[in-house]
A and B are shown apart, each in its own frame.
Chain A
Amino acid sequence: MNWAFLQGLLSGVNKYSTAFGRVWLSIVFLFRVMVFVVAAEKVWGDEQKDFKCNTAQPGCHNVCYDHFFPVSHVRLWALQLIFVTCPSLLVVMHVAYREDRERKHRLKYGDNCRRLYQNTGKKRGGLWWTYVLTLVFKIAVDATFVYLLYHIYEGYDFPSLIKCEQKPCPNKVDCFIARPTEKRIFTIFMVVTSLACILLSIFEILYLVGKRCRECFTSGHHSRHIDTNTMSSGSNLMESNSMKTTGKNTPETPAPSYSVAVS
């Protein structure tokens, strides 16, 4: 059970995403999960063993480490990556629910009945709202974790020396963090990629809302146009109207294959 399992679960989500969503998923798996697994985990690997305090007092080292690192960066990032990738599964579940409803409808009324959904994967109606809600949730999760990291560690800086006077340390004791510069670099990298993902999600929401508004406006404009038009040109206009209201299909570009990279 590792990140490849999560990647496998999410590989089906791309079918129902916009282009922004696919880029977002690639950024998450290439720049966040992969960097996390191959680099960040190793940088923080020896974090407690190489946290040295200038004292021989047993227990002082444990207590100072616990005081300055209540929860490790790598654990926070692991939780952040799990929480940020899960909302996409809501979309997959919603589509599965639609397909199940369609199947039950066909079983009840026969194969030649009117379909409930033109296309179960198209973002219309309830699925549009589910998709937008998952985007909002992703932004909230990323923003929360970026803020939490800032709040717990009072910034994204890693000082080389910290001073500790927790019991049982006898007095103010100097403690030294292992690899502070490398940790600082990776912290900034992970925060910047989180912010990039937040921006992408915001753009995606704006794109979806803009597209929806445009469709509503176009269909409203055309329906008024049809009312004022004579009946002879009615049929042609109706066809062009229905084509415009369904809108452009999202481009069916294949997702990049990153199954080799994440293992």
Chain B
Amino acid sequence: MSWPALYTQLVGANRHSTSLGKIWLSVLFIFRVMVLVVAAESVWGDEQSDFVCNTLQPGCENVCYDQFFPVSHIRLWCLQLVFVSTPTLLVAMYVAYRNHKDKKRLMQSSGRAGFLSNKGQEEEVEALKKRRLPIAGALWWTYACSLLFRLLFEGGFMYALYVVYDGFQMPRLVQCDQWPCPNLVDCFISRPTEKTIFTVFMATASSICMVLNMAELAYLVAKAVTRALCGQRERRASRDRTQSKTNQRSLVST
């Protein structure tokens, strides 16, 4: 299991997304996963080996590093990207379930009819797999839930990073007095400026993804409201038409 495998899974589910969902997937994989893999991971590569404390006391560096870096940025981002991608799989699961149900119905109806050839049936099943379901009904609710979960995970991880590291900036010097350090010891972080730049970059990319998700949710809600209003208007119009027809008939009969 790796990032390309996750990408393949998400691209499959993305067929049923809106345009904003497709843009979100591109932003996620190009500006976050790729930047993480080709750039950020090498910045944090020598994190602990180049974390230097002004002391010869054995164990002091280890203990201070552990105090200031309870969980590394890279690991937090990897977890964030995995969690944020998983709600899309909800949509994929629902689509698979719908396809399975429709396939069963197709087999049953063709069995009753009796005259559909094997090849014709296979073509129908293939068409079923390739079709794009409209985002309405239960799929709308699944999709909206997946967006809400994405927003929750993004917000949650960004907040966790902010709380654990007291902001998005990495200081050059931290002071540590954990046992077994003999007194207040100066410890120096490796590449703090570069780390700050990448932390801000990843936070910005996260915020952009959150904005895209909120826009997509707003679009889905607007679409559902419009559909409901149109449906109401059509029902009212058809009621009026049937009313006028009955009135005409009664007029003619008299």
What residue in chain A is nearest B193 (Cβ atoms)?
Answer: A70
Contact B50 A82 (CB under 8 A): no
**Interface assignment of B191: CB less than 8 Å from any CB of chain A:** yes
Which of A2-10, A15-23, A114-122 forms part of the interface with chain B? A2-10
In the complex, what distance in Å separates the CA atom of A43 from the CA atom of B194? Answer: 18
Is the CB–CB distance between B194 and A72 below 8 Å?
yes
Q: Assess the A1–B34 pair: CB atoms within 8 A.
A: yes
Residue of B nearest to A62 (CB): B188
What does DSSP make chain B's interface, helix, strand, loop or mixed? helix
Point out the residue from B38, B53, B172, B198 that lies within 8 Å of A58, measured CB to CB: B53
> What residues of A have a CB within 8 angstroms of the CB of B66 in the complex?
none
A1, B2: Cβ atoms under 8 Å?
yes
Question: Once the chains are docked, how many angstroms separate the CA of A57 from the CA of B2?
Answer: 42
The reply to whether the CB of B26 lies closer than 8 angstroms to some CB of chain A is: yes
Residue among B23, B30, B39, B186 making CB contact with A59, cutoff 8 Å: B186
Which of B31, B33, B172 contacts A1, CB < 8 Å?
B33
Render A94-121 as a binary contact track against B, CB cut-off 8 A, 1 for contact: 0001000000000000000000000000
Residue B54, interface by CB 8 Å: yes
How many Å from the CB of A105 to the closest CB on chain B? Answer: 16
Is B69 an interface residue, CB under 8 A from the partner?
no
Secondary structure dominating the interface of A: helix
| B172 engages A63 (CB within 8 Å) | yes
Interface size on A, residues (CB 8 A): 30
B55: nearest residue on chain A (CB-CB)?
Answer: A58
**Given contacts A1-B29, A5-B34, A97-B19, is CB(A59)–CB(B194) below 8 Å?**
no
Interface size class of B (residues with CB under 8 A): 35 or more
Contact with B along A56-95 (1 / 0, CB 8 A): 0111011101100111101100110010001001000100
Give the distance in Å from the alpha carbon of A66 to the alpha carbon of B191 in the complex. Answer: 5
- A6, B37: Cα distance in complex, Å: 12
A49 sits at the interface (CB 8 A): yes
8 Å CB contacts to A: which residues of B17-33?
A: 19, 22-23, 26, 29-31, 33
Can you name 21 A-B residue pairings with CB atoms under 8 Å? Answer: A1-B2, A1-B3, A1-B7, A2-B37, A9-B30, A58-B53, A58-B54, A59-B173, A62-B189, A66-B172, A66-B192, A71-B194, A72-B194, A75-B194, A78-B35, A78-B38, A78-B39, A79-B39, A82-B35, A93-B22, A97-B19
Interface positions of B (Cβ within 8 A of A): 2-4, 7, 19, 22-23, 26, 29-31, 33-35, 37-39, 42-43, 46, 50, 52-55, 172-173, 186-194, 197-198
Given contacts A5-B29, A69-B191, 5 further A-B contacts (CB under 8 A): A65-B190, A66-B193, A70-B197, A75-B194, A82-B38
